[in-house]
Amino acid sequence: MVRVGIIGGSGYTGGELLRLLLLHPEVEITQVTSREYAGEYLFRIHSNLRGLTNLQFDKPDLSKTIRLCDLVFLSTPHGVSSKLTPQLLDSGLKVIDLSADFRLRNPEDYPRWYGWSHPNPDLLKKAVYGLPELHREEIRKAQLIACPGCMAIVTILALAPIIKANLVEKEKIVADVKIGSSGAGAKPTRSTHHSERFGVVRPYKPTGHRHTAEIEQELSLISKSSIKVSMSAHAVNIVRGILSTVHAFLTEKIDIATLWKTYRSFYQNEPFIRLIRDRKGLYRLPDPKIVVGSNFCDIGFEIDNHTNRLVVLGAIDNLIKGAAGTAVQNMNILLGIDEKTGLNQLALHPM
């Protein structure tokens, strides 16, 4: 059993990690820290875990973490994990970071997108961008993995095959993203107050979303040229789930069969990608409704001949494939075990 710790375990991502890891057959949770809830039972905060575990939150203490853990998940606010990571790496631990601190390769992107200078820019070279569908081999050998942002994961996965195939205009790609309230985290504010948040279709970040940086980084890498993405994020009336609707303009006429081939060959054998484009049934295209609760990323597409536009749709559970599920998938790869271990749950339907 691999001894696993979670630093910053009281948020929603921490809760999902706990749910997945407590039932994972190959690991043992040896420490879960929380500054705010130290001493409290996990199930007081993550009430769904009641009956499964009597673990308590520990107060943050890196030396104890180093003693108790072989591998540690960092589920801390942006700016924290970059401080903790050097010592953890020096002590030989594997680190899977769920914050944004190691996602960007170019240190200059941090001041630009995050308004913050990276304290350990050298470590950025060491970090692997933890999207298994793109970087599986590097993940296998990594010591430090930076899990992608939730909107980035689904948008990158939706676009990667067509960017690789060089099918669309590179600077007029629109990603119109819809996300549930859990994406805003566990801290209550006026904008997340049920009476204010219920029923909205709120354009909360029409321009300048930080995930743009990693989307462009990864797609440019695939493209071997500069890709620009125009992203807008909307809050919708669900708790979990993301739909990213990507609009791009085709540089030449293609047909659906070619698209199928492009996507199928790119995602061949990927255990957590489902291509959804059906002629029948209620769910003919991706919809978070049938993904939430699973580690799947569903991808579908449509061609608009009227404007020579390509529409690609990607759906994930923001807390699973968009965070904790991908983190566990990365861990499995790192540990050399079956990548699907502990991630076989399906969406509940209806829900």
Within 210-239, which residues bind a copy of itself (CB under 8 A)? 212, 228-230, 232, 234, 236-239
**Rounded CA gap, 105 and 126, in Å?**
9
Q: Closest separation between CB of residue 219 and a copy of itself, Å? A: 13
Q: Which of 189, 226, 251, 265 binds a copy of itself (CB under 8 A)?
A: 189
**Six-digit token string for 306:** 């009227």
Residues designated catalytic: 150
Q: Which of 13, 75, 76, 181 binds a copy of itself (CB under 8 A)?
A: 181
Closest CA to 114 of 98, 101, 95, 129: 101
Residues 114-173 that bind a copy of itself (CB under 8 A): 171-172
Closest CA to 229 of 156, 288, 298: 156
Q: Which distant-in-sequence residues (6+ apart) come within 8 Å of 23 by Cβ?
A: 342
Q: Closest separation between CB of residue 182 and a copy of itself, Å? A: 5
Residue 128 vs 276, nearer CB to a copy of itself? 276
Check residue 257 for interaction with a copy of itself (CB under 8 A): no
Residues 308-337 that bind a copy of itself (CB under 8 A): 309, 311, 313, 315
At CA 322, angle to CA 321 and CA 325, rounded to 5? 40
Check residue 111 for interaction with a copy of itself (CB under 8 A): no
**Rounded CA gap, 26 and 46, in Å?**
22
Closest CA to 191 of 179, 207, 202, 178: 202
Residue 201 vs 257, nearer CB to a copy of itself? 201
Q: Closest separation between CB of residue 165 and a copy of itself, Å? A: 20
Q: Which of 72, 84, 292, 299 binds a copy of itself (CB under 8 A)?
A: 292
Q: Closest separation between CB of residue 191 and a copy of itself, Å? A: 5
Residue 144 vs 179, nearer CB to a copy of itself? 179
Residue 124 vs 347, nearer CB to a copy of itself? 347
Q: Which distant-in-sequence residues (6+ apart) come within 8 Å of 9 by Cβ?
A: 15, 17, 18, 32, 33, 34, 42, 57, 75
Q: Which residues of 43-73 are buried (b: 16+ CB within 10 A; e: fewer)?
A: bebbeebeeeeebebbebebeebbebbbbbb
Q: What is the pattern of x (binds a copy of itself, CB under 8 A) and - over residues 75-94? A: --------------------
Residue 294 vs 330, nearer CB to a copy of itself? 294
**Rounded CA gap, 9 and 16, in Å?**
9
Q: Closest separation between CB of residue 270 and a copy of itself, Å? A: 11
Closest CA to 272 of 308, 240, 238, 316: 316
Residue 220 vs 230, nearer CB to a copy of itself? 230
Cβ 30 vs Cβ 5: under 8 Å: yes
From the list 28-36, 64-72, 137-145, 285-293, the region that binds a copy of itself by CB under 8 A is 285-293
